[in-house]
Amino acid sequence: MGLIKAAVDSVSGVLKDSWLEVIEPDSMSDTTVMVSGVKTKNGKSSNKGDGNIVSNGSVIHVYPNMMMLLMDNGKVVDFCAQEGYYEVSQSSAPSLFNGELSETLKDTWERFKHGGAASSSQKVYYINLQEIKGIKFGTPNAISYWDQKYDAELFLRAHGTYSIKITDPLKFYNEAIPRSASRCDIKEINAQYLDEFLGALQSSVNQMSVDGISISHIGSKSLELSKYMAKVLDEDWTETRGMEICSVGIASISYDDESKRLINMRNQGAMLKDAAIREGYVQGNISEGIKAAGSNTAGAAQAFMGMGMGMNMAGGFMNAASQTNAQQMQMQAQQAQQMQAAQQQAANTWKCSCGNENTGNFCNNCGNKKPAPQGQWQCSCGNVNTGNFCNNCGAKNPNASWKCSCGSENTGNFCNNCGSKRP
């Protein structure tokens, strides 16, 4: 039993003239992975009594991004992944129209093929080869993540969506689709796969940690995460079930309370490395203390008295802290000045034609004058200019090119061709 490809024009003519029934795929949503075929007559469904049972001479319509499976008693006897109309022939061998699918599909056929004789239970099913998007996921438990930046074990939760694509429809049908189903949605069979997905997510996140990606960057690493997960799920999903991960989109990432505390403490510590910020923090605490004392319901006088006693006790520490901050701020300012001076010196360094490097206006080795920057020239009056005339005295740039009446281009005061003087 096999399929014979029919010309679209001839099939259309048959439909128009003799109202022959044609099998079309049943309605599909974005998350439908399999539907059964339904008989239509002149574009209208004619499924009555006999379901989608096909017979010799039946015509099957295959759409793009679909694979049609011709079944006999629950076994695949032929398939087609090429768009078009096909006539069922009891006398033909399986046609196996592979379409653009991988040649490994033929290996799967050898494992699951069934050479049955003609019977009254031949049916048609369609597998969706489009990317199945919008499959939601969420981590019920926090995932551990060792962050090299924070040097701590942190815990996160993630929510988002992922998508899959069926790469081996025969394997997918035999391993993933319930035997009694006439249609199947990914949501109906996703419970097991979601558990496996979350396990792969944990492994992939751990690998991202090993690769040095900070926990705060995971949300922007969806493409990398998809590649990690595809690698983890390759054997379980691609090799066993004929499907693969296409993309992973993370909508939100949250941290547990302890991780938030550690992250905030680390970020605060990083900020307080700056002496100016530390001094502002000290002065801010003093200001807040004075403010709180003024609003004390027991009386501002008593509050200020208590604060004065506390300040006397802590005054030595606060003064020492401020002095330390002032010293470090002075050191930071000196370092900034030194760096600026070094950059300025590097910018003023020039190399003489003799090979010596200098910083002044004359070469320390041969005494040559520092050349003007490219595009600039110095007039005899001493003014530095960029155009063809001096901004101070109006003299022409002696290095500017000029065209002689003979047509020659020159840069000096006389024409190199005829000897005429520069006008």
* Domain harbouring 143, CATH code: 3.30.479.30
On whether both 199 and 221 belong to a single domain, the answer is: yes
- Give a yes or no: residue 38 inside a domain: yes
DSSP assignment letter at 273: T
Distances (CA, A) of 371 to 24, 313, 351, 387, 412: 83, 66, 9, 17, 18
On whether both 100 and 150 belong to a single domain, the answer is: no
On whether both 255 and 290 belong to a single domain, the answer is: no
Q: Six-digit token pair at 314?
A: 């802590």
Give 123-170 pLDDT, tens digit per residue. Answer: 899 999 999 999 998 888 888 888 887 777 888 888 889 999 999 998
pLDDT at position 165: 93
- Give a yes or no: residue 197 inside a domain: yes
For residue 13, pLDDT over 70 is answered with: no
On whether both 93 and 203 belong to a single domain, the answer is: no
On whether both 150 and 177 belong to a single domain, the answer is: yes
Q: ∠243-247-251 over CA atoms, to 5°?
A: 135
Give 375-384 pLDDT, tens digit per residue. Answer: 677 888 888 8
- Report the greatest alpha carbon distance in the chain: 109
- Give a yes or no: residue 268 inside a domain: no
Cβ 55 vs Cβ 122: under 8 Å: yes
- Give a yes or no: residue 349 inside a domain: no
What is the pTM (predicted TM-score) of this model?
0.55
On whether both 122 and 165 belong to a single domain, the answer is: no
On whether both 14 and 107 belong to a single domain, the answer is: yes
Structural domain range at position 405: 363-423
- Give a yes or no: residue 267 inside a domain: no
CA distance 288 to 269: 21
CA distance 288 to 13: 89
Cβ 237 vs Cβ 166: under 8 Å: no
On whether both 110 and 229 belong to a single domain, the answer is: no
- Give a yes or no: residue 271 inside a domain: no
Phi-psi region of 65 (alpha: psi -120 to 50; beta: other; left: phi over 0): left
On whether both 379 and 411 belong to a single domain, the answer is: yes
Phi, psi of 119 (to 5 degrees): -145, 180
pLDDT at position 19: 41
CA distance 14 to 7: 11
The confidence band for 296, taking pLDDT boundaries of 50, 70 and 90, is low
Quick one: what percent of the chain has pLDDT higher than 90? Answer: 10
pLDDT at position 71: 83
On whether both 287 and 250 belong to a single domain, the answer is: no
CA distance 423 to 413: 8
Rg of the chain (C-alpha set): 41
- Give a yes or no: residue 367 inside a domain: yes
Please give the tally of structural domains in the chain.
Answer: 4
Q: Which residues pair with 303 in a beta bridge?
A: none
Q: Which residue reads 């401020």 in tokens?
A: 322
Give 343-356 pLDDT, tens digit per residue. Answer: 777 767 888 889 89
CA distance 14 to 31: 34
On whether both 220 and 123 belong to a single domain, the answer is: no
For residue 34, pLDDT over 90 is answered with: yes
- Is the Cα torsion angle 211, 213, 218, 221 positive or negative in sign? negative
